């Protein structure tokens, strides 16, 4: 009889902004020592969930993965089975064809808090010795479903740098993405093009193959930027050697265990665990290698910059000067922090007591990123202009920290084929190892969209591509990211 000891360590179930995702009551059921599988049972809950069928269908979901270790060894990704896994009452569960993880969400329209109980996913743990001790961890992170359909990029009369437009037409003409077919980047009719405001926009040429995710097909995007709590949870599962290469407190990152620009991550080295005093805050100072490693380990992938624009504005025509919440209206009064550093952190200002983006005109009491979902938490009427929410309910796509998305502006970016991480990173370097992702060493292949807490309003507009193809390998106090997953 195998001895299985369950460690209930909820690495991704930190209270994240307003929605407080959590995994509880984890157990192992129906162990089969002949076929080497066991059901991982758990409850999954989060607040402010939704599902809408009218218009483009849209819902939020949890991305769930399993990690395990044998005899106190290295944490390894658990492959789960589509067969004989059981969703909870009131939920739907889509297990990805590669077995890397599961997406769990409401099975019908509604809104409010959810608590899905007694979910069972079958984990195929493979051959082990009868005296092996197996430890399990379950991770969950909030995602938002972006449905299949046509949408527009660019198309504004404003001064957004390097913005997309329809080739052969004025720079204020929008370009409609109508399929995942290959696209040519050229300033001729029928093709996608972008202005050359500066040298950072890209080479204004090339072909986006059919495999490059253009946002027409459905996908999931993380509801929030990756948080300090999520980063620390990932980091603490690594080997000491991997940690040494992913340490964001070292001289190549923020160079301190103290709080720097609101980043509170600390690690004393060796076998010690990293800590954070602000687990719900968006994490900064991550390099491209750090970002790629995290997404590979979680089974996610980067967003493309085309998917970024769809995530912001949905299928509707672009509006002049718009931000991620669908208008050009923006709060410009300094925020005052209430309960700074806590999960209840919120903002007020002298104008409306609400806001919609953290950027240079509102960061008088900030020196770095805010808590994920802070504007939704602080809003009074809960409309998009107050919460800063995108068309689909994705948060902080304008301001807070830059979104790093796969660019169309370099050959390295255009080589991206949408492959997902497989849960495994290099044992020696701690790097992600997925082929055709932007380069770990140089950063070539990423764009920087949506601006940050330190930028002016122009940089946080949806169509702005001031750094649409900038090559920046390292991290700093303005850069963040979020992962994505192609819908199964």
pLDDT tier at 8 (50, 70, 90 boundaries)? very low
Comparing C-alpha atoms, which of 337, 237, 228, 246 is closest to residue 284? 228
> At residue 12, does pLDDT exceed 80?
no
What confidence category does residue 129 fall into, taking pLDDT thresholds of 50, 70 and 90? low
pLDDT above 60 for 11: no
What pLDDT is attached to residue 4?
Answer: 53
- Calculate mean pLDDT across residues 45-53: 94
Look up the CATH architecture of domain 147-488.
Answer: Alpha-Beta Complex (3.90)
Band of pLDDT at residue 353, cut at 50, 70 and 90: low
Q: Are 62 and 223 in contact (CB under 8 A)?
A: no
Query: For 356-374, how does the pLDDT look when each residue is reduced to its tens digit (9 = 90+)?
Result: 999 999 998 899 999 999 9
| 207 in Cβ contact with 183 (< 8 Å) | yes
Q: State how far the alpha carbon of 103 is from the alpha carbons of 81, 231, 299, in Å.
A: 13, 20, 12
Look at residue 130 in the predicted model and tell me its pLDDT.
57
Looking at the chain, the number of H-run helices and the number of E-run strands are: 7, 23
Confidence of residue 10 (pLDDT cuts 50, 70, 90): very low
Please tell me the distance from the alpha carbon of residue 178 to that of residue 215, in angstroms, as a whole number: 9
Query: How does the average pLDDT of the chain come out, rounded?
Result: 93
Q: For residue 84, what pLDDT is reported?
A: 85
Residue 3: pLDDT over 70:
no
The whole-angstrom distance between residue 277's C-alpha and the CA centroid of its chain comes to 21
- Between 327 and 12, name the one with better pLDDT: 327
Q: Is the dihedral of CA 407, 413, 415, 418 positive or negative?
A: negative
Asked if 478 and 455 touch (Cβ cutoff 8 Å), the reply is yes
Say what the pLDDT of residue 128 is.
62
| Segment 446-475 mean pLDDT | 97
Q: Look at residue 352 and tell me whether its pLDDT is greater than 80.
A: no
How does pLDDT run across 15-43, given as a tens digit for each residue?
A: 333 478 999 999 888 888 888 888 999 99
Residues whose CB is less than 8 angstroms from the CB of residue 55 and which lie 6 or more positions away in sequence, other chains included: none
**What is the structure's pLDDT at 35?**
86
Query: What pLDDT is attached to residue 16?
Result: 36
Percent of the chain with pLDDT strictly greater than 70: 95
pLDDT digits (tens, 9 = 90+) for 132-157: 788 889 999 999 999 999 999 998 88
For the chain, give the percent of residues with pLDDT over 90.
81
Give me 189's structure tokens: 């009719």
pLDDT of 5 strictly over 70: no
Half-sphere exposure in the Cβ direction for 383 (13 Å, CA): 5
Residues of the chain with CATH 3.90.1580: 147-488
Q: What is the Cα–Cα distance from 380 to 387, expressed in whole angstroms?
A: 9
**pLDDT (tens digit, 9 = 90+) per residue, 158-194?**
889 999 999 999 999 999 999 999 999 999 999 999 9
- In eight-state DSSP terms, residue 271 is T
CA–CA distance, 479 with 247 (Å, rounded to integer): 16
How far apart (Å, rounded) are the C-alpha atoms in residues 104 and 84? 15
pLDDT tens-digit map of 249-283: 999 999 999 999 999 999 999 999 999 999 999 99
Q: Are strands 133-146 and 3-4 parallel, antiparallel or unpaired?
A: parallel
């Amino acid at each position: 009889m195998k001895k299985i000891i369950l460690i209930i360590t909820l690495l991704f179930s930190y209270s994240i902004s307003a929605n407080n995702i959590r995994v509880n009551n984890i157990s192992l059921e129906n162990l089969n020592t002949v076929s080497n599988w066991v059901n991982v049972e758990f409850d999954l809950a989060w607040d402010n969930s939704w599902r809408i069928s009218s218009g483009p269908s849209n819902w939020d979901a949890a991305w769930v993965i399993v990690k395990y270790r044998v005899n106190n060894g290295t944490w390894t990704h658990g492959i789960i089975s589509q067969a004989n896994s059981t969703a909870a009452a009131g939920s739907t569960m889509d297990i990805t064809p590669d077995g890397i993880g599961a997406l769990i969400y409401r099975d019908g329209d509604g809104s409010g808090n959810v608590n899905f109980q007694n979910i069972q996913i079958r984990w195929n743990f493979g051959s082990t010795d009868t005296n092996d001790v197996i430890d399990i961890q379950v991770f969950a992170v909030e995602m938002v479903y972006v449905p299949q359909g046509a949408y527009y990029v660019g198309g504004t009369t404003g001064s957004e740098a390097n913005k997309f437009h329809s080739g052969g037409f004025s720079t204020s003409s929008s370009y409609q993405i109508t399929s995942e077919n290959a696209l040519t980047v050229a300033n001729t009719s029928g093709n996608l093009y972008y202005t050359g405001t500066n040298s950072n926009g890209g080479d204004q040429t090339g072909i986006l193959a059919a495999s490059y995710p253009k946002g027409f097909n459905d996908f999931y995007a993380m509801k929030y930027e990756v948080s300090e709590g999520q980063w620390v949870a990932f980091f603490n599962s690594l080997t000491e050697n991997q940690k040494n290469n992913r340490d964001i407190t070292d001289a190549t990152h923020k160079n301190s265990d103290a709080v720097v620009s609101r980043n509170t991550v600390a690690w004393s080295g060796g076998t010690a665990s990293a800590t954070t005093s602000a687990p719900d805050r968006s994490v900064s100072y991550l390099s491209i290698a750090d970002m790629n490693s995290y997404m590979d380990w979680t089974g996610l992938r980067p967003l493309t910059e085309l998917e970024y624009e769809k995530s912001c504005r949905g299928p509707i025509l672009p509006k002049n000067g718009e931000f991620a919440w669908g208008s050009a209206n923006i709060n410009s009064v300094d925020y005052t922090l209430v309960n700074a550093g806590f999960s209840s952190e919120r903002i007020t200002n002298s104008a409306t007591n609400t806001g919609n983006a953290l950027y240079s005109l509102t960061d008088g009491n900030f020196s770095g990123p805010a808590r994920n979902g802070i504007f939704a938490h602080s809003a009074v009427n809960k409309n998009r202009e107050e919460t800063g929410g995108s068309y689909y309910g994705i948060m902080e796509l304008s301001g807070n920290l830059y979104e790093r998305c796969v660019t169309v502006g370099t050959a390295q970016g255009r080589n991206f084929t949408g492959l997902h991480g497989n849960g495994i990173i290099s044992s020696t370097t701690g790097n992600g190892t997925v082929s055709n992702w932007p380069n770990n060493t140089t950063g070539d292949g990423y764009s920087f969209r949506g601006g940050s807490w330190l930028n002016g309003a122009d940089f946080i507009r949806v169509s702005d591509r001031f750094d649409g193809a900038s090559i920046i390998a390292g991290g700093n106090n303005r850069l963040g990211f979020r992962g994505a997953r192609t819908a199964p």
